[in-house]
């Protein structure tokens, strides 16, 4: 009996069932053991085997997966239906929707099988593409947040199993996009994704959270030392130079780490993992607050700190409108005659909900949000106006100094705004001194122009925290600077080495014709040494803490010979 006759007979038999053939059907017949007896041309085409190569071969052997359940079903003489991945002769893969129908003898045992196939390779490819788009990041090819949700659903948290989450965020990634373009930014993200993957094991999960954020989940009980070593290895690998256009850049990131052991109290895997991610995110933000390019491990204390920073950021938005800011003034003392020659103005903030807040907490937030520019203008106006009022009341200070943020200093309208403030308050510019850091001068390309403009107005410039910044001192001769303020850390450590540093700064300042001020004087021993070295001026709690404006006049008129600090 030839194949055509046999298939006609099979088709007639199948008409009495729901498995009728159609023109697209691929048909195979086997004996009771699954040995192929006949095939049509369509199967030869999809499998890329010739008919002779297929006849006599076990059908199950040409599938990508050996179905134990399929063999069991067929042995019982039942119809089987499902999707099977096949391996063609050239080792390419194809998918077929498969129905296997047994023919039974009078004893109810299969004596032959008819296998009806339909090619669904294209459909499966579409499904794969959709799966990829839904669960994988198109840029880095890493799993995405949807994949994470599915992964969580498939992995139950076991009691006494410790899960570790690392939350990673690139530092200053916006700089790359702004200066090199988004295409270069995409290249950097792809390179970072590859480096992160190379740091991990096969069972570790890494996803791209979005933007320049990544999440790593380690589900096994790794010791603390292993996790810290991994964080250090990631920081090292990521920081290796990346060639971007004609430059080599070192990329840095911040890592937050959270770890927790599953207990019977854990309600579900989703809430457990999401809680770890949130804690790791908080720890990462703290790593950024501390300068970045580092890792931070989540602790309850850190959450309290982050919650406070978050509340400060919320409250500070309206602080200026609510008149919550005020200025306090710390006297500057001429160390030769003990006279008050000026004051340094210091911003203070007291909030109704949070109480008094340290400048170390709120100033960085003002700088991060950019609100330091608006607040800085208010400070300048308030200080200049106060100085004018003191002059009118007979408190004739030689100068009032104001700290200026690098962000405010580089603003295009900074000089114009300052000129307008001086005009409004009618304060002579020679009484105003602006305190800036060494970093402000060296980081800003147009700093020389700004300093020259200040000199043109008659405003003096002081370098604050001198000695803690850059080693290059060439700018001291090149730029119009009036005063050096020795950083408090040197005054605190007036041992043998500390004295050498302080003495060197004082002598250098004098030789370059700068006024030299010592910050942070807290005891008589420090004062005596600074007088011995003929330091020009000093300030610190030994003389007075920062006080309100009305106290300054009292201090000014106090007898210089009977100086006592005011609490």
Q: Could you tell me the CA-to-CA distances from 226 to 135, 164, 298, 302 in Å, in that order? A: 29, 11, 16, 22
Question: Residue 66's pLDDT is what?
Answer: 45
Lowest model confidence (mean pLDDT) among 6-15, 264-273, 343-352, 369-378: 6-15
**Residue 162 contacts by C-beta under 8 Å, 6 or more apart in sequence?**
220, 221, 222, 259, 260, 261, 262
Within its chain, how far is the Cα of 537 from the centroid?
Answer: 43
Confidence of residue 284 (pLDDT cuts 50, 70, 90): very high
Rounded (5°) CA angle 505-508-514: 95
Q: How far apart are CA 175 and CA 482, in angstroms?
A: 34
267, pLDDT greater than 70: no
**Tokens representing 188?**
């950097």
Question: Residue 286's pLDDT is what?
Answer: 86
Question: Residue 72's pLDDT is what?
Answer: 65
**Residue 154 or residue 65, greater confidence:** 154
Q: How far apart are CA 449 and CA 442, in angstroms?
A: 13
CB atoms near residue 384 (< 10 Å): 25
CB 416, CB 444: distance < 8 Å: no
DSSP label at 533? Answer: T
Question: Residue 264's pLDDT is what?
Answer: 52
CB 451, CB 479: distance < 8 Å: yes
Per the prediction, the chain carries an average pLDDT of 85
Dihedral sign from CA coordinates of 298, 301, 305, 307: positive
CB 541, CB 532: distance < 8 Å: no
Confidence of residue 567 (pLDDT cuts 50, 70, 90): very low
Query: Between the ranges 50-59, 258-267, 322-331, where is the mean pLDDT highest?
Result: 322-331
Confidence of residue 74 (pLDDT cuts 50, 70, 90): low
Q: Quick one: angle between helices 269-289 and 300-316, nearest 10?
A: 70
Q: How far apart are CA 482 and CA 486, in angstroms?
A: 13
In terms of Cβ atoms closer than 10 Å to its own Cβ (0-12, 13-18, 19+), residue 80 is buried
Length of the chain: 567
Nearest to 326 by CA among 361, 350, 357: 350
90, pLDDT greater than 50: yes
**pLDDT, tens digit, 9 for 90 and up, residues 416-447:** 999 999 999 999 999 999 999 887 776 555 68
Q: How far apart are CA 232 and CA 226, in angstroms?
A: 10
- Over range 28-35, report the average pLDDT: 87
Question: Residue 237's pLDDT is what?
Answer: 92
CB atoms near residue 121 (< 10 Å): 15
- Over range 13-25, report the average pLDDT: 55
**Residue 565 contacts by C-beta under 8 Å, 6 or more apart in sequence?**
541, 542, 543, 544, 545
pTM of this structure: 0.61
Q: Could you tell me the CA-to-CA distances from 135 to 102, 143, 157, 189, 210 in Å, in that order? A: 40, 6, 22, 18, 13
Q: How far apart are CA 134 and CA 355, in angstroms?
A: 48
**Tokens representing 370?**
């950019």
Q: How far apart are CA 38 and CA 52, in angstroms?
A: 10
Quick check: helix, strand or coil at residue 385? helix
Within its chain, how far is the Cα of 185 from the centroid?
Answer: 15
Confidence of residue 472 (pLDDT cuts 50, 70, 90): low
* Rg value, the chain, Cα: 39
- Over range 113-122, report the average pLDDT: 89
62, pLDDT greater than 90: no
- Over range 156-183, report the average pLDDT: 84
Question: If residue 113 lies in a helix (H) or strand (E), which one and from where to where?
Answer: strand 110-119
312, pLDDT greater than 70: yes
Q: Quick one: angle between helices 359-369 and 372-392, nearest 10?
A: 120
**pLDDT, tens digit, 9 for 90 and up, residues 324-373:** 999 999 999 999 988 899 999 999 999 988 999 999 889 988 988 889 99
Rounded (5°) CA angle 201-205-210: 130
Burial 294-304 (b: 16+ CB within 10 A, else e): bbbbbeeebee
- Over range 71-77, report the average pLDDT: 66
DSSP-assigned beta bridge partners for residue 449? none
Lowest model confidence (mean pLDDT) among 9-13, 86-90, 281-285, 402-406: 9-13
Which domains, ranges and CATH numbers included, belong to the chain? 3-125 (3.30.450.20), 136-298 (3.30.70.270), 319-557 (3.20.20.450)
- Over range 94-116, report the average pLDDT: 86
- Over range 318-329, report the average pLDDT: 94
Q: How far apart are CA 397 and CA 427, in angstroms?
A: 12
CB 366, CB 316: distance < 8 Å: yes
CB 122, CB 111: distance < 8 Å: no
- Over range 510-536, report the average pLDDT: 92
Question: If residue 414 lies in a helix (H) or strand (E), which one and from where to where?
Answer: helix 414-425
147, pLDDT greater than 60: yes
Nearest to 348 by CA among 181, 82, 546, 215: 546
């Amino acid at each position: 009996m030839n194949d055509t006759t046999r298939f006609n007979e099979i088709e007639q038999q199948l008409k009495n069932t729901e498995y009728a053939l159609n023109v697209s059907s691929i048909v195979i017949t086997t004996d009771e053991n699954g040995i192929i007896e006949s095939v049509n041309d369509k199967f030869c085409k999809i499998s890329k085997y010739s008919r002779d190569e297929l006849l006599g071969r076990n059908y199950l052997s040409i599938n990508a997966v050996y179905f134990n359940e399929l063999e069991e079903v067929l042995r019982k003489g039942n119809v089987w239906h499902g999707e099977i991945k096949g391996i063609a002769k050239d080792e390419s893969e194809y998918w077929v929707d498969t129905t296997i129908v047994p023919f039974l003898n009078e004893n109810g045992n299969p004596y032959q099988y008819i296998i009806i196939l339909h090619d669904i390779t294209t459909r499966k490819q579409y499904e794969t593409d959709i799966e990829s788009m839904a669960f994988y990041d198109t840029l880095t090819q890493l799993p995405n947040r949807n994949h994470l949700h599915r992964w969580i659903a498939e992995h139950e948290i076991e009691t006494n199993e410790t899960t570790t989450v690392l939350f990673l965020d690139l530092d200053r990634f916006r700089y790359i996009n702004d200066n090199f373009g988004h295409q270069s930014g995409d290249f950097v993200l792809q390179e970072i994704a590859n480096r992160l993957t190379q740091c991990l094991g096969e069972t570790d999960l890494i996803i791209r959270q979005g933007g320049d954020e990544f999440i790593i989940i380690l589900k096994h009980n790794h010791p603390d030392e292993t996790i810290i070593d991994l964080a250090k290895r990631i920081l090292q690998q990521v920081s290796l130079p990346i060639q971007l256009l004609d430059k080599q850049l070192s990329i840095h990131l911040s890592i937050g780490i959270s770890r927790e052991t599953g207990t019977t109290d854990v309600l579900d895997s989703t809430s457990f993992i999401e809680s770890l991610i949130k804690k790791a995110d908080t720890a990462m933000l703290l790593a950024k607050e501390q300068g970045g390019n580092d890792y931070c491990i989540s602790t309850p204390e850190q959450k309290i700190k982050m919650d406070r920073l978050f509340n400060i950021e919320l409250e500070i938005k309206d602080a200026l409108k609510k008149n919550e800011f005020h200025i306090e003034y710390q006297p500057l003392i001429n160390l030769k005659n003990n006279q008050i020659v000026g004051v340094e103005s210091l911003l203070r903030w007291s909030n109704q909900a949070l109480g008094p807040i340290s400048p170390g907490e709120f100033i960085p937030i003002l700088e991060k949000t950019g609100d330091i520019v608006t607040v800085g203008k208010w400070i300048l106006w308030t200080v200049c106006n106060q100085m004018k009022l003191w002059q009118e009341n007979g408190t004739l200070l030689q100068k009032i100094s104001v700290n200026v943020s690098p962000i405010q200093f580089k603003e295009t309208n900074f000089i114009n705004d300052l000129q307008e403030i001086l005009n409004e308050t009618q304060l002579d510019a020679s009484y105003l001194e602006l305190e800036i850091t060494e970093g402000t001068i060296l980081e800003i390309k147009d700093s020389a122009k700004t300093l020259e403009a200040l000199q043109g107005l008659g405003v003096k410039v002081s370098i604050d925290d001198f000695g803690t910044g850059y080693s290059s001192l060439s700018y001291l001769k090149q730029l119009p600077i009036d005063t050096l303020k020795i950083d408090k850390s040197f005054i605190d450590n007036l041992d043998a080495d500390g004295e050498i540093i302080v003495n060197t700064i004082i002598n250098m300042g004098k030789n370059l014709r700068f006024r030299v001020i010592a910050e942070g004087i807290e005891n008589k021993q420090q004062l005596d040494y600074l007088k011995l070295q003929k330091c020009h001026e000093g300030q610190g709690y030994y003389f007075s803490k920062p006080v309100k404006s009305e106290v300054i006049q009292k201090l000014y008129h106090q007898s210089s010979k009977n100086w006592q600090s005011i609490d």
